[in-house]
Structure 1
Amino acid sequence: MSLTKPNRSPATFTRNRVEPAPGSGICVTCLDGCPGPCEIGRSALRGREILYPQPYSKVTAGAEKDYPVDFSHFNIQGTCVGAVGVPADSDHATFPAVDISTEVGARDQIKMKVPYFTGALGSTDIARIHWESMAIAAAISGTLVVVGENVCGMDPQSEIKNGRVVRSPELERRVKIFQQWYDGYGGVVVQYNVEDGRLGVPEYAVESLGVQIIEPKWGQGAKDIGGEVKLPSLERAQQLKSRGYIVLPDPDDPVVQEAFKQGDFKEFERHSRLGMVDEEGFHKEVERLRKVGAKHISLKTGAYRPADLARAVRYASDAKIDLLTVDGAGGGTGMSPWRMMNEWGIPTVYLESLLHQFLTRLSRMGAFVPSCAMAGGLSLEDHIFKAIALGAPYIKAICLGRASMTAAMVGNTVGEMIKKGKVPADLAKYGTDVEHIFVLAAKLREKYGKDFERIPTGAIGMLTYFDRLNAGLQQLMAGARKFALKYISRSDLCALTREAAEISGITYVMDSDHEEVSRILFGGEKARGKVMSLNMEAFIRSKAHLNR
């Protein structure tokens, strides 16, 4: 059975004329005379444009490959006995009493009110457009918001002198929005890649903007190449080439310029370079960032092979960084090659299982174990619980990339509908203004007074989504009788398939609680012998029955 759907996808606006062959994805009868609605057909017309999810700057995309094992292959274990973290009393052990706050850090801790934070919002249009909403929501929620790569380099108004950025109005805007709403929890993280490093973005962010958390980026789950965006004008393409980016086709080539002016193609592509990781260089860079004034260092790595995950774990341990975020294949992005998103990298469950193995080995050696976060296709409270449990006790937070942006986008869209008086019927049943449609709006107005008017509906949407996650996570934790995140353990999960158990090390559902069951039913060491005896008798009887 094929796990993927080659040659057709809503992401690329492509489809088959008739049923496809499972392997190739080509129609079982490819008809001469067909205009080619499939990916091959559209590629014959538009070439590399069809590499990417469409329409650019209007969507986020997540892989549609159906991996053999994902979080649905695990269930959360509940119990009717006791409580961990509060008195085992029905009047105290209620789900609103569950503490979902967390903290990350090596020396000084970054305190967070909730155990999830945004993905990196980089230089794509969709990230720029929704930054305000997501940064305000993150600050009010008391969590992290991440400025992604290439923001300064892509800022048309950036001032660059001697190859170094001295001012970026866009990065300044992003940082200040968060700082205006910051109340002591969470923080704004500035991520950087090869080009950002050459432009001096970390130094500018720390020294000029007061950023305290800097994140070198090794990679992400959606792709194993550098960041990409589309450029709609020749002038923009030439500007970014002059700033050190790879721009395709070459905007300085007269033939390319003429073809663009004639409308033969409508967009250039800007690509970032591949980073080159080595141990000595990493430690020197971390030390340099600390000397620059960065209070906290985090590292973002992607769905690379196991040896690279081991490098990330060991280097993060030796450098005593504050947070290691590991992003599994299958997650989302603003722009990545579509087939790459589906066909490269280690999926989230597999990657987190390896991460747990590696961190456990470090811990047994007595080495420093960094705070870790998982990312990669996670969106709801059960995903959050399972991801924390699968990597327990090392996973302190979850990165919600596409999910948090989806909430902000919907909030902004509905806010515009309200302004225009065009609220659709399925929403109008709640009302036609912000306070009635957004269930959390009245509470926010009460808390912030006149400042409520400064909160975009996108932020209200993300805050309301987070509030749902808070309640849902508290309910799941209360059912497991774990009243703080630090009490969640791997034993709070069971694997529903033998394959999931083998990959993760989580006990198969039919084997879980085996010893405790024996003690309850039969009591003590004597019981185990009795259980084995009973099992042997049952086996002999079944063999005798089969032999009749």
Structure 2
Amino acid sequence: MTERIGEDSSYLNGMSTTGTRTRVKDVSPTSGMCPICIEECPILCEISLSAFRGREVLYPVPEEFGTSTAASLKNYGLDWSDLNILSRLRGAEGIEEDSDKALFENVDISSKMGGIPLKLPIATGAYGSTRVAKRHWDALSIGAALAGGILVVGENVCRMDPDARFSGGSIDYSKDMEYRVKKFREFWDGKHGDISVQTNVEDERLNVESYVISNLDVDIIERKWGQGAKAIGGEVRISDLDRALTLKKRGYIVLPDPEKHSVQKAYKDGAIKSFERHSRVGMPERKDFLEDVDQLREKGAKKVTLKTGAYRPSDVAWTMRMASDAKIDYITFDGAGGGTGMSPVPMMNEMSTPTVYLEAQILKCARILKEKGKYVPDISMAGGFIQESQILKSIALSNFDGEPFIKSITMARAPITAAFKGSYFAELAEKGKLPSRFKKKYGEKVENFFVTASGLKEKFGKDYNKIPPGAIAVYTYLQDRIGTGLQQLLAGTRKWRLDLINRDDLAALTKKASRVTGIPQIDEIDSDVYERILTD
């Protein structure tokens, strides 16, 4: 397998992420520009669209904000496809060696992260104040509850809530936050998974954690130090001038400044169509963080967790040390680079550490801490996961001596896509506008085209009608597809329990994958067995 990094440099001047393209396909490998750029070209490439819209072109198509998610286009030269899962012929671990019992459907894919039981090793990404999260909250929250995973309410929800009430600089009431927590609990079994509330600098200043702990009985508080899609704080896009003015008055950074007369005129004239709302960047310090974690527990948080981004190795090591010293319950690391639609495209493509490289760094830190007898928090890995094979490889890579450091995978964009599709196709069905091929193959009613619908109806009876199609889609994707896929792959390794999968079950397909992860290349695996087995 050849090295692949750099072969996609043509994306520099034409990206579907920003709605730009080049006039010709054979662009310059250095700049991404057409070899001959002509004056009368009507095509909008990155350069030409930027000449008209400036900073807007730093972001995914602004018109799609709230109805899309976005990710990087860059090939990082190493991903989960550079590792293969090794199958086995004989034996069985975690179950009796009996062909009538060692069935893949008997594989236990449950996990426990930070002491929280999970039906399958999944936590959702933090769905916060972005419009896409709010529009699909019922689907995401109910789907996660049904699947038995952890659901994370993201940053900025309270301060962004139009119906929020404040006093003395603190939040007294948030209709949006209350709704989000209650909606998850409608279908939560009270045992598997839970709901977590993430807090950034803005939330801390508003004392959001005290509000959700005391008023909404939230047990898990997640502090946020960043994410893989960007390293400059949370952002959303605002299309209404009055809303932009309100958010600035509430203390947010809003760009361009909606209070400026020139900006208001440009908005009314149609030159400025939307505003960016930015959160402040956190500046963590050891003493402050340790005290903060203690205070959160004193306030009643039963679990304290941390979400961080894909920063350089020194920051990874420092973060792991802080997480160990504070004895937080678990930590989520987010590899580059995708998000819920408002991360700068150049930042998603060109900044931060890709997921496999990042996990290798994290595992070095975890092993050093463990060898020194220090506390190692459970870890959830995020960064572009969509399939069971990626999930299994990530967990297996973290198991050196009997217990994986990584207890779950955090997924954000993929569950949103499932919610999109479920809601949209149900709407098409209601209008009688389903694509003919889809209708012919899968039926024209929700009960027909969702394979899990009948089982949910049997389980919940009349309450089944409270489950929106988007939630059925999220549940079907997480539980039926990924859950079953994990069982099949684990059975193929002859491991009938998730925590039994380990590094010996992996093989590297490239020298780079082997060098970065420490997993032997596939031609080096079991190299001593031939003589031993064949001549013994």
What's the TM-score, normalizing by structure 2? 0.95
RMSD in angstroms over aligned alpha carbons?
1.2
Question: CA offset at residue 492 of structure 1?
Answer: 0.9
Indicate which of 440, 453, 458 corresponds to 2:470: 458
DSSP-derived class of the 2:35 partner: coil
Q: Percent identity?
A: 50
After superposition, where does 1:48-67 map in structure 2 within 5 Å? 48-54=55-61, 55-67=64-76
- Cα deviation per residue 1:118-165 (whole Å; 9 max; x = unaligned)? 111111111101111110011111111111111111111111112111
DSSP-derived class of the 1:160 partner: strand
Q: For residues 329 and 159 of structure 1, what CA distance do their matches in structure 2 show?
A: 36
Gaps of 5+ in 1: 524-548
Q: For residues 474 and 240 of structure 1, what CA distance do their matches in structure 2 show?
A: 47
Query: Runs in 1 of length 4+ with deviation above 4 angstroms?
Result: none
Q: Is 1:483–2:489 an aligned residue pair?
A: no
Q: For residues 104 and 155 of structure 1, what CA distance do their matches in structure 2 show?
A: 31
Stretch of structure 1 that moved more, 339-348 or 305-314: 305-314
Q: For residues 87 and 17 of structure 1, what CA distance do their matches in structure 2 show?
A: 63
Q: For residues 398 and 56 of structure 2, what CA distance do their matches in structure 1 show?
A: 39
Measured at CA, do residues 82 and 218 of structure 1 come closer, stay the same or move farther in structure 2, by a change above 3 Å? same
Question: CA offset at residue 33 of structure 1?
Answer: 2.2
Q: For residues 459 and 278 of structure 1, what CA distance do their matches in structure 2 show?
A: 40
Could you tell me whether the CA contact under 8 Å between 1:146 and 1:189 is conserved in 2? yes
DSSP-derived class of the 1:510 partner: coil
Q: For residues 293 and 516 of structure 1, what CA distance do their matches in structure 2 show?
A: 56
Question: CA offset at residue 179 of structure 1?
Answer: 1.4
Q: Is 1:255–2:267 an aligned residue pair?
A: no
After superposition, where does 1:377-396 map in structure 2 within 5 Å? 377-392=384-399, 393-396=404-407
Indicate which of 76, 79, 82 corresponds to 2:91: 82
Could you tell me whether the CA contact under 8 Å between 1:65 and 1:330 is conserved in 2? no
Q: For residues 338 and 518 of structure 1, what CA distance do their matches in structure 2 show?
A: 54
Question: CA offset at residue 34 of structure 1?
Answer: 2.0
Q: Name the residue aligned to 2:209.
A: 202
Could you tell me whether the CA contact under 8 Å between 1:331 and 1:375 is conserved in 2? no
Q: For residues 34 and 437 of structure 2, what CA distance do their matches in structure 1 show?
A: 39
Q: For residues 395 and 531 of structure 2, what CA distance do their matches in structure 1 show?
A: 29
Q: For residues 117 and 530 of structure 2, what CA distance do their matches in structure 1 show?
A: 39
Q: Name the residue aligned to 2:243.
A: 236
Question: CA offset at residue 517 of structure 1?
Answer: 4.2
Question: CA offset at residue 368 of structure 1?
Answer: 1.2
Q: Which amino acid aligns with 1:97?
A: N
Q: Name the residue aligned to 1:166.
A: 172
Q: Is 1:21–2:34 an aligned residue pair?
A: no
Measured at CA, do residues 518 and 197 of structure 1 come closer, stay the same or move farther in structure 2, by a change above 3 Å? farther
Q: For residues 332 and 510 of structure 1, what CA distance do their matches in structure 2 show?
A: 37
Q: For residues 432 and 468 of structure 1, what CA distance do their matches in structure 2 show?
A: 21
Gaps of 5+ in 2: 1-5
Q: Name the residue aligned to 2:304.
A: 297
Could you tell me whether the CA contact under 8 Å between 1:375 and 1:400 is conserved in 2? yes
Indicate which of 337, 345, 357 corresponds to 1:330: 337
DSSP-derived class of the 1:119 partner: strand
After superposition, where does 1:97-246 map in structure 2 within 5 Å? 97-105=106-114, 109-183=115-189, 184-246=191-253
DSSP-derived class of the 2:484 partner: helix
Question: CA offset at residue 521 of structure 1?
Answer: 3.5
Question: CA offset at residue 331 of structure 1?
Answer: 3.3
Q: Name the residue aligned to 1:510.
A: 523
Q: Name the residue aligned to 1:371.
A: 378
Could you tell me whether the CA contact under 8 Å between 2:78 and 2:356 is conserved in 1? yes
Could you tell me whether the CA contact under 8 Å between 1:63 and 1:332 is conserved in 2? no
DSSP-derived class of the 1:237 partner: helix
Q: Which amino acid aligns with 2:98?
A: D
Q: For residues 366 and 322 of structure 2, what CA distance do their matches in structure 1 show?
A: 12
Could you tell me whether the CA contact under 8 Å between 2:330 and 2:377 is conserved in 1? yes
Question: CA offset at residue 202 of structure 1?
Answer: 1.0
Q: Which amino acid aligns with 2:451?
A: V
Higher-Rg structure is 1
Q: Name the residue aligned to 1:531.
A: none
Q: Is 1:519–2:514 an aligned residue pair?
A: no
Q: Which amino acid aligns with 1:424?
A: P
DSSP-derived class of the 2:236 partner: strand
Measured at CA, do residues 517 and 396 of structure 1 come closer, stay the same or move farther in structure 2, by a change above 3 Å? farther
Q: Which amino acid aligns with 1:88?
A: E
DSSP-derived class of the 1:346 partner: coil
Q: For residues 35 and 223 of structure 1, what CA distance do their matches in structure 2 show?
A: 32
After superposition, where does 1:528-539 map in structure 2 within 5 Å? none
Q: Name the residue aligned to 1:544.
A: none
Q: For residues 505 and 71 of structure 1, what CA distance do their matches in structure 2 show?
A: 14
DSSP-derived class of the 1:178 partner: helix
Indicate which of 406, 428, 445 corresponds to 2:439: 428
- Cα deviation per residue 1:176-208 (whole Å; 9 max; x = unaligned)? 001121112101110011111111111111111
Matched length: 520
Q: For residues 226 and 23 of structure 1, what CA distance do their matches in structure 2 show?
A: 31
Q: For residues 62 and 517 of structure 1, what CA distance do their matches in structure 2 show?
A: 45
What's the TM-score, normalizing by structure 1? 0.93
Question: CA offset at residue 522 of structure 1?
Answer: 4.4
Q: Name the residue aligned to 1:414.
A: 425
- Cα deviation per residue 1:245-283 (whole Å; 9 max; x = unaligned)? 100111112222222222221111101111101111111
- Cα deviation per residue 1:7-61 (whole Å; 9 max; x = unaligned)? 1111111000122211211111111222351011000001111111112112101
Q: For residues 84 and 123 of structure 1, what CA distance do their matches in structure 2 show?
A: 44
Indicate which of 333, 357, 362 corresponds to 2:369: 362
- Cα deviation per residue 1:391-439 (whole Å; 9 max; x = unaligned)? 2210100011111111111101111112112221122122111111111
- Cα deviation per residue 1:296-345 (whole Å; 9 max; x = unaligned)? 01111111001111122111111111111111013333210011100000
Question: CA offset at residue 111 of structure 1?
Answer: 0.7
DSSP-derived class of the 1:270 partner: strand
Could you tell me whether the CA contact under 8 Å between 1:15 and 1:37 is conserved in 2? yes
After superposition, where does 1:343-362 map in structure 2 within 5 Å? 343-362=350-369
- Cα deviation per residue 1:183-234 (whole Å; 9 max; x = unaligned)? 1210111001111111111111111111100000001111111111111122
Q: Which amino acid aligns with 2:82?
A: H
Q: For residues 8 and 336 of structure 2, what CA distance do their matches in structure 1 show?
A: 14
Q: For residues 17 and 271 of structure 2, what CA distance do their matches in structure 1 show?
A: 23
Q: For residues 188 and 451 of structure 1, what CA distance do their matches in structure 2 show?
A: 21
- Cα deviation per residue 1:335-369 (whole Å; 9 max; x = unaligned)? 10011100000100000011111101111111111
DSSP-derived class of the 1:511 partner: coil
DSSP-derived class of the 1:181 partner: coil
Q: Which amino acid aligns with 2:99?
A: S
Q: For residues 411 and 518 of structure 1, what CA distance do their matches in structure 2 show?
A: 55
Q: Name the residue aligned to 2:3.
A: none
Could you tell me whether the CA contact under 8 Å between 1:373 and 1:397 is conserved in 2? yes
Could you tell me whether the CA contact under 8 Å between 2:428 and 2:434 is conserved in 1? yes
